[in-house]
Amino acid sequence: MSIKIYCDAGSNLYPAILKTKNADINVFPMNVVVDNKTYRCYEDNIDVEAFSKEFYESLNPRKKNVHTSLVSVGEYQKAFSEEVDKGNQVVCFTLAKGISGTYNAARLAADAINESAGKEVVHIVNSATAGLGEGMQALRAYEDVKAGKGFEEVVKNAEDFVFKVRSEFTVDDIVYLSNTGRVSPLVAKIANILRIKVMLKGSNESEITLTKKVHGRKTALKNLSTTCLEKIKDKNSKVYITHCNCVEDANSVKEDLIAGGINDIEIYPYDLVTGAHVGPGTVAIFYVGENRD
């Protein structure tokens, strides 16, 4: 019997990243549709840098119609059933239930399989975040599996780790959040006129919340590094930075972190599933802190 780790495409775990980390994690693909053109994330082993650049450039002009698809209950149930039929157990991480219906879909599939088995053989973890915040949780659980830990211990560690992962980001153009209904069009217009940038984070309520407003892009980027330096639990631990086609800005944040004593930093393109809703120019940072308060 083996324990298999699953997550959805909102985890930012491209096949190329998993290959680099030698991590046997299964990622449920999700669709992103931009003006009727469908991008399948991350079913194929793509050139991440090139694909991401093409994708985020495709979001301009910002009035384009963008929507994403959920992983269906049927997709979850098929994959989970195949694992259980092989004698395996499953721990599956999903996007925050406050921003996506994937958690509920996975939960329904797991409940049906667990009821049939008469015990829990599939456990669903609400990552309460997105992007590499979810990805970090899946990677850590995989390390537990490689270390030979049992199902109950892997599950307990996964749930205990959820709110230790901090996820913070800033957007370059607030209109993308306006298009998703997170801020009003009027607020977005005023913010852009006054050059106000918003700082956001994944909250304890599994939602995206506003933490502060600052003036100017440079101040916003500086705030990301400053917050990380204040809140990180261990400066020797891994920090991930992701960006929506603005690698120079991601490198600027990295340089500030290095100056502050953090050196284990990896930069990747921002996941396309949630990136479609925050827009080009978004920079995010993910790391382990004591909690999300």
- Report whether pLDDT(276) > 90: no
Tens of pLDDT, residues 155-189: 999 999 999 999 999 999 887 776 665 555 555 56
Tens of pLDDT, residues 251-275: 999 999 999 999 999 999 999 888 8
This prediction has a pTM of 0.93
Peptide bond into 15 cis (omega under 30): no
Among 208, 278, 220, 272, residue whose Cα is nearest residue 250: 220
Which long-range contacts does 185-193 make (Cβ < 8 Å, 24+ apart)?
none
- Report whether pLDDT(64) > 70: no
Give the 3-state DSSP-derived string for 49-77, with helices as H, strands as E and coil as C: HHHHHHHHHHCCCCCCCEEECCCCHHHHH
Tens of pLDDT, residues 228-244: 999 999 999 999 999 99
Tens of pLDDT, residues 115-139: 999 999 999 999 999 999 999 999 9
